[in-house]
Amino acid sequence: MIEFVKEARKVIPEVKLTVVKVPQIDVDACKALAKKLGVPLRVRKFNVVG
């Protein structure tokens, strides 16, 4: 995923990471990774559409 984001940023004007907030996901680690990659992070609630 990390390499994909790096390559995507070269050709796609707006790249964004998205995670679903569930107990198994470390959202803080995802935020840190998104910051390191220079892309925004969207945190979605589980089982909520829209």
Residue 50 lies in a domain: no
Q: Which pLDDT value is given to residue 47?
A: 84
Is 6 part of a structural domain of the chain? yes
pLDDT higher than 90, residue 28: yes
Q: 34, exposed or middle or buried, with CB in 10 Å at 0-12, 13-18, 19+? A: buried
Terminal-to-terminal C-alpha distance of the chain: 24
32 inside domain: yes
pLDDT higher than threshold 70 for residue 13: yes
Q: For position 50, what pLDDT does the model report?
A: 65
Range of the domain at 30: 2-45
Work out the average pLDDT over 4-21.
95
Residue 25 inside a domain? The answer is yes
Check residue 35 and give its pLDDT.
96
- Number of structural domains found in the chain: 1
Query: Taking the model in full, what pTM does it have?
Result: 0.80
At 49 the pLDDT is 74
